[in-house]
Each structure stands twice: as structure tokens, then as C-alpha cells.
């Protein structure tokens, strides 16, 4: 896997897997990540932004505040086991999942503003003590409860116990993040049984001495741009996912060149083929993880060719119309005109090409060189993402339907899924997923 710094800048809008809580049951057990050289990740948001300068690459992280949390009465340095979780948390806490974040975050300086910190773990010869919760349950719930000042305690609002600080149950404590100081928080509830958020708390100086800051990136550097159900503005970059059957042709995408010709197969926006892209890398990454089985505990139940499992490429392309003046058509939403247009582009039932998606005959030009709008759901209405936070979001696709349109594109980056650090922890545990219907 490449280092954090080598791939994080390509995460232009990664994992809109909504940070959402529900009461699902029996997610897969966590597995400890405390091995020499492993990475952990922290998100710096809101009030901690004032201290972000204390995170210096090459140095150990700053001291934590003595405030009660899930795993320690007198403070800890809380991290996530995966970049996915840290990024989800940063986007959640800074309002990227809200149409109007100011309704939820009162300080405007906190909106769309966070840092991702990568830290490398090395216990050296310090022999830190550890405690591990693989899942929720009575012992976990009682432990969580014991670490917070109870109602009526003078520190119940400030989260401060007062008195002489006492050591935590161990130097380093791993386990699920709690939901409101009770049972574990569940991620990705729309794909039962969901997943725990895997947090690691470093509760002592000895524990902190095991960490070195190895990466630090601000949200602006990640090019994260909030999408809206009304459709994002046309973008200077577009993103394509190469999965399944197209993997055999992935070498045709060469950095510095225009993308290869598309196959003359019917799709949402063109009867005789198009190069379909997403407006954000977030959407492309979701699609790659979905079609390659990262969201399934047992992907072989859903994907018959084993070479397609956990195998995809992300391609970033720059759009520059130059002086070509490509024609355009845009659908801002999934209304009647959109539905009729989608329907018209697919061979109807009974047509010889209804299964192969081929109309036959001489190819006809599409209605425009470049067509933008929502991706369809099974060739009908618009597909909805993040549906558990109404009104949800469209998947914004951009179809390049002609040679003129393709000439407007240049491949500027190409990355394989192995390089993104998103492999499932085990064949029995799904990766972080992104609410794909």
C-alpha cells in the first residue's frame, strides 16, 4: 500500500458514506490494529482547530486534554483504525453531509474545515499495556458508562471528574466508539449488520510516545466539495471507475493522454455509447467499492468472477473544452423529461438488443456531445445516495458521447484500489461503505 501522502491528495471527495447512527445488531467483531508500523488516524475539528499547529510531521502528537471520554476518565488521545473512519468523522463534524450546515454548526469557522492526521504506531521497548473490546456487550457498556461523570456530578456537563487524575484501565484501549455514551455506534446501517467505528485511545505518556505524526492534510487540500440534490456545478475534473469487464482494457487509460474510445453500448444518456464519468471522486470511489464487492461480507455471493472482487481503478480526468465548443445538455433533477429521456436510450423489451444493450444499425449521434444529470436506478428514476438523510443526493454523472467530447478530456491520474488502503480487514468483514442503493 502506498503511503498516506501518496494517495490522500487523490481523494478529492471521498466516502460520502454517511456518518449515521442506528440500532443495528451484531456487526462483525473488531480486530486489533496494534502492530508495529501500523497507521492510525485522527481528525482535528471544531474547537481543536485552534491547536492544529501542534501536530507536526515527524514529531509525536500533542498532549490530550483531561476530559472524560469513552475509554478513559481523565482524557485520552482518540484515533480511528482506518482513514475511512477519520474522513467520515471529519466530513460529519464539519457539515459536509448537510445541505445547510449552518443549521447544525453555529460557528462558521468550523464549517467545511478539518484536518486529517496520520500517525504511525511503534511500541519500541515501552511495553504499553492494552485493553481490547472486539464488540459491544454488557462489559463494554458498563465500561463506557463508568468513564463519564454521572448526572448530578459537578462535572457532568464539562466532562471533568476533578481531583487527582487516575490512570486509565490500560495505556492503550481499543474498541467500538460509543453512541451517546451507551451502546456502540453503528456505521453503514443500510447494509446489515453494519460496522463498528473502531477507535483506539492512547491514555498515557507512554502510549503517546508510541506515536509519530507522519501525515497532515487540511480538508481544502482534499478538494472536498459538498454536493447538493440540485446538482453540483459543472466541474473542471471528472472521475471514472474501471471495474469488472473493463478491467481487461485498463491499460488504455494513460496519464497525459485523452481517454480511449467508448464501446457502442446503450446507457442512460446515449443510445450508441458514451464515456460515463462522475462529477466527484467521492461518487466514483463509491461505485468502485460497490461494483467490486467491498460492501459485502462475502462478495463471491454477488460477484461470480473472482478477478473482479476488490479490484478496480480510479481515473481522474481534466476537462478543457479548448476551442471545440462541444454541445451540452443538462438535467438538474429526475423529473418527467429526465425519465422519458433515460427510457428512450435503452432498447425496449422485445428488441433484439434488449439484453446486449446494442441497438444495431448505423450509430446515431446523441442529443449533445456532453450530457450531465443524475445516474438512473435500473433505467428508471434517478438513483438516490444518502437516502437515510432526506432528501438524499443524486449521483451526478457526466457522459461524453462523441469524439469531440473525448478530446476535451486528459487523463491526469490513475490509481488501483490496492493503493487506496481500503481492503477489508478479513474476508469475513466488509470495508467501510457508502450507502449505495
390 pLDDT more than 90 = no
pLDDT tens digits along 247-265: 999 999 999 999 999 999 9
Among candidates 87, 76, 88, 212, which has minimal Cα distance to 131?
Answer: 76
**Per-residue model confidence (pLDDT) at position 423:** 53
| 369 HSE (CA, 13 A, CB side) | 13
Contact 242, 411 (CB under 8 A): no
Burial degree of 244 (CB within 10 A; 0-12, 13-18, 19+):
middle
Beta pairing partners, 372: 330, 398
For residue 391, whether the previous peptide bond is cis, meaning omega lies within 30 degrees of 0, is: yes
Contact 294, 422 (CB under 8 A): yes
Which range, of 28-32, 68-72, 109-113, 364-368, averages the lowest pLDDT?
28-32
**Per-residue model confidence (pLDDT) at position 336:** 93
pLDDT tens digits along 126-185: 999 999 999 999 999 999 999 999 999 999 999 999 999 999 999 999 999 999 888 898
Please, which residues have CB within 8 angstroms of residue 215's CB and are 6 or more apart in sequence? 3, 4, 5, 8, 57, 116, 117, 118
- Ramachandran area for residue 343 (φ above 0: left; ψ -120 to 50: alpha; else beta): alpha
**Per-residue model confidence (pLDDT) at position 233:** 32
Q: Which residue has 471544531 as its cell numbers?
A: 46
pLDDT tens digits along 130-146: 999 999 999 999 999 99
Calculate mean pLDDT across residues 92-97: 87
- Domain-wise residue ranges, the chain: 27-221, 236-296+303-432
Most confident of 92-101, 316-325, 359-368, 389-398: 359-368
44 pLDDT more than 70 = yes
Q: How many CB atoms lie within 10 A of CB 142?
A: 9
For residue 307, whether the previous peptide bond is cis, meaning omega lies within 30 degrees of 0, is: no
pLDDT tens digits along 219-228: 877 656 564 4
Q: How confident is the model at residue 350 (pLDDT cuts 50, 70, 90)?
A: very high
Please, which residues have CB within 8 angstroms of residue 345's CB and are 6 or more apart in sequence? 266, 267, 268, 269, 270, 271
Mean of all residue pLDDT scores within the chain: 85
24 pLDDT more than 70 = no
Amino acid at each position: 500500500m502506498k503511503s498516506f501522502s501518496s494517495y490522500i491528495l487523490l481523494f478529492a471527495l471521498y466516502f460520502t458514506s454517511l456518518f449515521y447512527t442506528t440500532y443495528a445488531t451484531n456487526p462483525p467483531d473488531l480486530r486489533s490494529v496494534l502492530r508495529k508500523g501500523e497507521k492510525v488516524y485522527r481528525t482535528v475539528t471544531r474547537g481543536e482547530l485552534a491547536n492544529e499547529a501542534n501536530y507536526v510531521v515527524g514529531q509525536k502528537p500533542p498532549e490530550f486534554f483531561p476530559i472524560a471520554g469513552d475509554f478513559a476518565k481523565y482524557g485520552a488521545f482518540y484515533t480511528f483504525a482506518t482513514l475511512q473512519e477519520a474522513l467520515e468523522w471529519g466530513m460529519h463534524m464539519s457539515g459536509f453531509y448537510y445541505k445547510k450546515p449552518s443549521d447544525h454548526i453555529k460557528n462558521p469557522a468550523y464549517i467545511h474545515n478539518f484536518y486529517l492526521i496520520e500517525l504511525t504506531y511503534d511500541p519500541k521497548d515501552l511495553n504499553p499495556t492494552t485493553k481490547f473490546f472486539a464488540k459491544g456487550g454488557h462489559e463494554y457498556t458498563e465500561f463506557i458508562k463508568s468513564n463519564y461523570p454521572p448526572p448530578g456530578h459537578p462535572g457532568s456537563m464539562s466532562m471533568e471528574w476533578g481531583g487527582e487524575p487516575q490512570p486509565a484501565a490500560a495505556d492503550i484501549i481499543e474498541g467500538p466508539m460509543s453512541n451517546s455514551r451507551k451502546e456502540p455506534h453503528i456505521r453503514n446501517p443500510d447494509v446489515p449488520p453494519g460496522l463498528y467505528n473502531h477507535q483506539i485511545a492512547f491514555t498515557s505518556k507512554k502510549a503517546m510516545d508510541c506515536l509519530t505524526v507522519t501525515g497532515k492534510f487540511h480538508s481544502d487540500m482534499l478538494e472536498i466539495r459538498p454536493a447538493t440534490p440540485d446538482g453540483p456545478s459543472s466541474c473542471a475534473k471528472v472521475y471514472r471507475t474501471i471495474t469488472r469487464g473493463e478491467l481487461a482494457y485498463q491499460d488504455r487509460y494513460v496519464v497525459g493522454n485523452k481517454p480511449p474510445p467508448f464501446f457502442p453500448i446503450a446507457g442512460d444518456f446515449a443510445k450508441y455509447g458514451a464515456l460515463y464519468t462522475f462529477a466527484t471522486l467521492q461518487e466514483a470511489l463509491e461505485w468502485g467499492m460497490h461494483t467490486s464487492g467491498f460492501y459485502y461480507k462475502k462478495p463471491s455471493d454477488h460477484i461470480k468472477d473472482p478477478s473482479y472482487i476488490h479490484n478496480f481503478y480510479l481515473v481522474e480526468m481534466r476537462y478543457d473544452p479548448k476551442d471545440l465548443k462541444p454541445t451540452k445538455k443538462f438535467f438538474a433533477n429526475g423529473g418527467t423529461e429526465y425519465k422519458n429521456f433515460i427510457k428512450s436510450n435503452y432498447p425496449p423489451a422485445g428488441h433484439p438488443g434488449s439484453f446486449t444493450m446494442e441497438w444495431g444499425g448505423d450509430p446515431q449521434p446523441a442529443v449533445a456531445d456532453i450530457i450531465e444529470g443524475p445516474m438512473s436506478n435500473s433505467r428508471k428514476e434517478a438513483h438516490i445516495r444518502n437516502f437515510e438523510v432526506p432528501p438524499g443526493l443524486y449521483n451526478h454523472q457526466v457522459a461524453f458521447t462523441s469524439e469531440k467530447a473525448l478530446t476535451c478530456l486528459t487523463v491526469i491520474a490513475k490509481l488501483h484500489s490496492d493503493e487506496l488502503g481500503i481492503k477489508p480487514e478479513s474476508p469475513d468483514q466488509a470495508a467501510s461503505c457508502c450507502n449505495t442503493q
